[in-house]
Amino acid sequence: MRRISAQIRQEYDQLSPTEKRVASFILDHLDDLATYNSVELSRQCDTSKATISRLFRRLGYSNFKEVREDLRRLRQSGVPLPGPKLNSEASLVDRHLASEMKNLKRLQALAQTSLLADITEQLDAANRIAVIGFRNSYPVALHLRQQLIQIRPAVLLLPQPGQTVSEEVADFTPQDVVVLLAFHRRPAGFNALLKTLQKLNVPVLLISEEQSGLGKSKPKWFLELPLDTISAFDSYALPMSVVSLLSNLLLHYQLDKGRARIEKINQLYDSTEELDINLSY
């Protein structure tokens, strides 16, 4: 495929001063050049439309449209990203970000299976969904519930104050789904809960940190997310990313099926306060 950046490098010496200025600008904005038109380009580079037009001609394109098409194809077909460069004295911040990047890449590997499609389907079909998360997993559970409730009814956050999970889960059936967020520090009794669910034959999506050893409990779906950081505090970035991903997947699944009731979404957004927070000032 022809690459405009390559063309520019090749021809750069032959270009006139103004053209060089434009070419540099292009190299600096390769990623969203496809969204510019020649008028904007000329304004940004403080030159005329004519110069822009001539430049692309010089670079071997017959017109601007061809450039656009090339860029879009380029955009869509995998420019490898330059990884975060790290020297030995990289700051904590840099190292944190590098670590997050690494975690994301691992998720990418995990997400290749049909697992997510399968889960999405069940999240749509389930009569009820229970989202369960203790301690550090609780904020994630809360968030997941906040998102899911916007696209389907009957999404419960467990346990509710004053009740035990066992009680609330007792009447769950194979037509329901339980999402169990189980990152670190699972309280005593957790295994009992797993067993109960298994006995009831409730499909369980179990999400934990890596190396949790929870795979043995044979949940219907199992996601092990890397939470590693440079130091003692884990990062819950990936769990939140998965929440967003699952929500978006479910939304699109429902859209495809014509089943999404989007009109409700904003109402809920605006009026419903799912949490008992006092919003007054």
Partner DNA sequence: ATCCAATTGAAACGAAAGTTACAGAAGACA
Partner DNA sequence: TGTCTTCTGTAACTTTCGTTTCAATTGGAT
> Could you say which of 79, 125, 154, 170 contacts a second copy (CB under 8 A)?
79
Q: How far is the CB of 186 from a second copy (least distance, A)?
A: 9
Nearer to DNA, 51 or 150 (CB): 51
Instruction: Tell me the CA distances in angstroms from 222 to 56, 112, 118, 161, one per residue in order.
Output: 52, 14, 12, 27
Q: Does 256 bind a second copy (CB under 8 A)?
A: yes
Residue 65, classified by CB atoms within 10 Å of its CB into exposed (0-12), middle (13-18) or buried (19+), is exposed
Residue 196 sits at φ, ψ, to 5 deg, of: -55, -50
> Could you say which of 42, 51, 146, 217 contacts a second copy (CB under 8 A)?
146
Q: Does 163 bind a second copy (CB under 8 A)?
A: yes
Could you tell me if residue 46 is left (phi over 0), alpha (psi between -120 and 50 degrees) or otherwise beta?
A: left
Q: Which does 51 bind (CB under 5 to 8 A by kind): DNA, a second copy, none?
A: DNA
Q: Which does 204 bind (CB under 5 to 8 A by kind): DNA, a second copy, none?
A: none
As a whole number of angstroms, the distance between CA 95 and CA 93 comes to: 5
Q: Which stretch binds a second copy (CB under 8 A): 46-54, 55-63, 216-224, 266-274?
A: 266-274
As a whole number of angstroms, the distance between CA 204 and CA 131 comes to: 10
Q: Does 171 bind a second copy (CB under 8 A)?
A: no
Contact string 25-64 vs a second copy (x = CB under 8 A): --xxxxxx-xx-----------------------------
Q: How far is the CB of 262 from a second copy (least distance, A)?
A: 3
Instruction: Tell me the CA distances in angstroms from 47 to 5, 11, 17, one per residue in order.
Output: 20, 19, 11
User: Dihedral, CA atoms, 228, 231, 233, 239, nearest 10 degrees?
Assistant: -20
Per-residue tokens: 209? 């940190």
Q: How far is the CB of 43 from a second copy (least distance, A)?
A: 13
As a whole number of angstroms, the distance between CA 267 and CA 27 comes to: 44
Q: Which residues bind DNA (CB under 7 A)?
A: 16-19, 37-39, 46-54, 56-57, 63-65, 68
| Eight-class DSSP state of 129 | E
> 79: which residues sit within 8 A by CB, 6+ positions away?
none
As a whole number of angstroms, the distance between CA 54 and CA 40 comes to: 15
Q: How far is the CB of 51 from a second copy (least distance, A)?
A: 18
Q: How far is the CB of 2 from DNA (least distance, A)?
A: 16
Q: Which does 82 bind (CB under 5 to 8 A by kind): DNA, a second copy, none?
A: a second copy
Q: Which does 200 bind (CB under 5 to 8 A by kind): a second copy, DNA, none?
A: none
Q: Which stretch binds a second copy (CB under 8 A): 99-107, 123-131, 198-206, 214-222?
A: 99-107
> Could you say which of 22, 68, 205, 223 contacts a second copy (CB under 8 A)?
68
Q: How far is the CB of 27 from DNA (least distance, A)?
A: 17
DSSP conformation letters of 39-97: HHHHHHTTS-HHHHHHHHHHTT-SSHHHHHHHHHHHHHS-PPPPPPP--TT--HHHHHH
